[in-house]
Amino acid sequence: MTRLVLRRGKRKISRFSGIRNSRINPQGFHTSQIKFYLVLLPLTVFMLLPIVFIFSHAFKPADELFAYPPRFFVLNPTVKNFTDLFSRFSKSGIPVTRYLFNSILITVVTVAASVVVSTTAAYALSKKRFKLKNVLFTVNTVALMFVPIAVTIPRFLVIERLNLMDSFWVHILPALALPVGLFLLKQFMDGIPNEVVEAAQIDGASDVAIYWRIILPMIKPAIATIAILTFQATWNNADVSNLYINSESLKTFAFYLTTLTTTTTGANAVAGQGMAAAATLIMFLPNLLIFILLQSQVMSTMSHSGLK
């Protein structure tokens, strides 16, 4: 009799908790969610306005680009800005496609190399024991406080002494040291129990096998976050081409974008603005796509790394 009463009590509790959970966090649409939509939908529309403007501005003809008062939406869309952009050559005769190819190649290589360097360094700082381990992590943490402009002169001197000036590698090697990436990965790996690594070592697994087969699959969200941060920093970087590159064929599309409005004057000012709008959209699209694809991984990384 007692067992029967307990079973009925458990059924009632589970049924009550199920109803309660369905009300608090319904899987589908529920009328209680209307109040949230009333607040979130206007905010969503407001935050989408800059994105809509970038798309609209890129397809505006010359008369709408300089219309007064300015128009938010394009009335007569045209692709002339894009055709003018890709048919234009720089002063040295370098086509736009060369700058775009440089940016794509440099970004892909930098992201891949940065992920390898950051994950291996974080694995050593998180799961290995050696002297000066805490000191090295403290140095990395202190480096987070310095903005890039503050280390421009020391970086220039180091690059010059390493004979990296006016070379392809000057775009890649300085970007491999990403303090925020190492910090996030190390914090994420600290959440992996040491017993998992110790069990693999007992089974005879090497450090490379542990890193490749155990650690990397468990930190995929953090890797995606580092990939996004490195991609954005590299793809949008025009300072390297401006400070360290003299050969026009080694410069990037981000640098070329800065020349569209600064080198066009007089009769070409309007055409320069149109090409700049088209180039801005091309620069923006990869950032938007990669963030949409990996944004859930970014949220997961932030929740596990203690950054809230």
Structural domain boundaries in the chain: 82-305
| In CATH, 82-305 is 2.170.150.70 | no
Rounded to an integer, the average pLDDT of 32-60 is: 88
| Residue 263 pLDDT exceeds 60 | no
Max mean pLDDT range (57-61, 110-114, 201-205): 110-114
| Residue 248 pLDDT exceeds 60 | yes
- Tell me how far CA of residue 76 lies from CA of 56, 79, 281, in angstroms: 10, 10, 18
Rounded to an integer, the average pLDDT of 215-243 is: 89
Cα gap 61→80, rounded to integer Å: 7
Q: What is the pLDDT of residue 304?
A: 54
Cα gap 218→201, rounded to integer Å: 17
pTM: 0.78
Residues of the chain with pLDDT > 90, as a percent, come to 21
- Which tops the pLDDT comparison, 29 or 212? 212
